[in-house]
Structure 1
Amino acid sequence: MRVQDLGVLQGPVLFFGGPYSNLQATHAVLDQARIRNATPVCTGDVVAYCGRPAETVAAIRAAGCAVVAGNCEVQLARGAADCGCGFAEGTTCDLLSVGWFGYANRHIGQDDRVWMSTLPAIVIFTHHGARYAVLHGGATDIARFVWSTSPDTVFAEEWATVEAIVGPVDHVVAGHSGIPFQRDVGAGTWINAGVIGMPPHDGSRTTVFATLNGGAVSFHRLTYDVATAVRDMEAVGLTQGYHSALCSGYWPSEDVLPPDLRVSRASG
């Protein structure tokens, strides 16, 4: 398992996940990193649902920020036929993934696939005396969905696996599941930075990123050009539901969510 050590980071750090081929949100979050003079760290899935996969990868690579491999990067690097999320066959998420992953697979070039193949599974660094590990979904499974309401045993298993790979850590930062949270899990704090390419299923068009400053984590809403992101998706035929989610703030399916995080409404 590839690990990248960023050493000691003295200033602010900006965590963001899931650019999801949303070029407008990607530019917006990179602007936030510059404005805040923060080191940007991405929790993976640079490419996914939206309409500008190659351009989004180009923007992330040009920024030079640390990126952990998401399941989408792993699958694209391998030339796989699906996103590797492990959705149950026939679920809405499984059916919708055929369209967006197929589009991304056709538009990501070989040089970007090689770059994806070099991405670390875990990024580590020290900040204000505390040691952080950044990963995508879980250390046991890159595509594991870890939620704010997951059982204590899930966090214990993931924490132990992380420490078996990189040694003791005080905090773990993750992405993948798309809904931000911070939870004290006994061994330390598990922080999900959320994603910037889709709203966190809460009815808002804004998405979420996190900052680490002076040892404190804060969550922030990201405003970006939603209308253009939607037009980009419509222009290439990605109209199976995620384009509507950018406007409605609700995902096209709640299949992936545990029952206690569902909001019981259609996204439209």
Structure 2
Amino acid sequence: MMNAPFPCFRPNCNLSFKGMVMQAANLGHIEAETLLVFGGPYGNLEATQALFAEAGKLGIAPDHIICTGDIVAYCADPLETSYFLRNKNINIIQGNCEVFLAEDSEECGCGFEEGTACDVLSKSWFSYCRSQINADIKEWFGSLPEHLHFTFGERSFAVVHGSAQNVSEFVFASDSEEKLKDHIQKAGVDCIISGHSGLPFTKIIGDTCWHNAGVIGMPANDGTPRVWYSLITQSDGKIVFEHKSLSYPASKAQAKMKKADLPGGYSQALTSGLWPSLDILPESEARQTGFNLMEKKAEWKKS
């Protein structure tokens, strides 16, 4: 894995992390038929273990697995989930939670508007994360790259958390093609793989593409306890993005959250499949609350 300088993605930031140059890890060309991508483990150990059981069944090697960050957040096992993922030796980038925990901040840096329900609830779960994460894991968080660059098939990819310019930027399927294309062009790649927003989608814009695999730590606000990841395959000059749902023992993760006295809205969401607040959602995504998401594929052919 090679490191190369990359602009800082923190909002209004001109500083480097603990004196280090901001880094993007270059994975080079990935020779594989299939990649597995997931985001937001959120300290949900049960969902994370279930995902890797699935990866084992699919025969996907660790170096062909990508995580878009936010290893820890709402759920009860931030430390255990962090060690589990570190020991898997997969490709992981920093989410805003890793950035701000590594810097020992009291804020999660999620990008929630001040005073909203999400902002108020974040005080509780982020304080819990800070109390659970040790110095060893904080150091590991600080060592993770902010972005990944690689080629797969005949396309170039960048993996970011929010956007290439801002770790906390929410990007959704309803955003304009102009906005997405501008982000992709600024990153200098054919495709951006992102996280942060919590909802899976693929948007193909001409010869470019934006892909979000969704998250495994929390349902997708569709009224089911399922969580989401994706498989990206290459064949005959085309790339196929496959959005996959995952079932896991959500009630066990929920019981741990209740025992830890974490915000009830998020613990209830693990089984209800409904977010406690829609503050971050554009109108289009908010209207889809409770509608069962379907597994789907998107085929990307370059002209």
Q: Does 2:261 correspond to 1:237?
A: yes
The 5 A counterparts of 1:187-198 are 187-198=207-218
Using the size of structure 2 for normalisation, the TM-score is: 0.83
Shift of 1:37: 2.1
Aligned to 2:219: 199
> What does residue range 245-264 of structure 1 map to in structure 2 within 5 Å?
245-263=269-287
1:106 aligns with 2:127: no
Contact 2:96 2:108 in 1 (8 A): yes
* Offset from partner CA, 1:6-41 (integer Å, 9 cap, x none): 222222110000000000011111122222222210
Q: Which residue does 2:86 correspond to in 1?
A: 61
Report how far residue 186 of structure 1 moved: 3.5
What TM-score do you get using the length of structure 1 for normalisation?
0.94
Mapped contact 2:229–2:246 kept (Cα < 8 A): yes
SS of equivalent residue, structure 1 residue 241: helix
Percent of pairs with identical residues: 38
Cα RMSD for the two superposed structures: 1.4
Aligned partners of 1:30 and 1:40 also within 8 Å: no
Give the conservation status (yes or no) of the 8 Å contact 1:146–1:154. Answer: no
Deviation at 1:161, TM superposition (A): 2.6
Deviations 1:127-183 (A, max 9, x none): 2222211111101111100000012332133113312xxxxx221111100000000
Deviation at 1:264, TM superposition (A): 7.9
CA displacement at 1:187 relative to structure 2 = 4.8
Secondary structure at the aligned position of 1:21 is classed as coil
1:205·1:247 contact (CA, 8 Å) conserved in 2?
A: yes
Structure 2: how far apart are the matches of 1:191 and 1:170? 11
AA partner of residue 59 (structure 1): F
Q: Is the CA contact (8 Å cut-off) linking 1:173 and 1:191 kept in structure 2?
A: yes
Are residues 1:138 and 2:163 paired? yes
Cα distance, 1:87 vs structure 2 = 1.3
| Residue aligned with 2:171, SS | coil
Would the aligned equivalents of 2:226 and 2:248 in 1 still touch at CA under 8 Å?
Answer: yes
CA offsets, 1:101-147, max 9 Å, x none? Answer: 00001110111111111111111222222221111110111110000
Is 2:45 the counterpart of 1:26? no
Q: What letter is aligned with 1:109?
A: N
Any idea what SS the aligned residue of 2:114 has?
coil
Match of 1:166 in 2: none
Q: Which amino acid aligns with 1:21?
A: G
Match of 1:226 among 245, 250, 263: 250
Structure 1 residue ranges, 4+ long, deviating more than 4 angstroms after superposition: none
Give me the whole-angstrom Cα distance separating, in 2, the residues matched to 1:91 and 1:230: 24
For residues 214-245 of structure 1, what are the alpha-carbon distances to aligned partners after superposition, in whole Å with 9 as ceiling and x for unaligned? 23110100111101100110111013310000
Partner of 1:118: 143
Out of 84, 98, 111, the residue aligned to residue 73 of structure 1 is: 98
Counterpart residue number, 1:84: 109
How many residues end up aligned between the 2 structures?
Answer: 261
Q: Specify whether residues 240 and 153 from structure 1 end up closer, same or farther in structure 2 by C-alpha distance, changes over 3 A only.
A: same
Shift of the alpha carbon at 1:90? Answer: 1.2
Corresponding residue number in structure 2 for 1:52: 77
Q: Secondary structure at the match of 1:262?
A: helix
- For 1:33-70, what per-residue CA distance to the aligned partner results, in whole angstroms no more than 9, with x for missing partners? 22222221000000000000000001110111110110
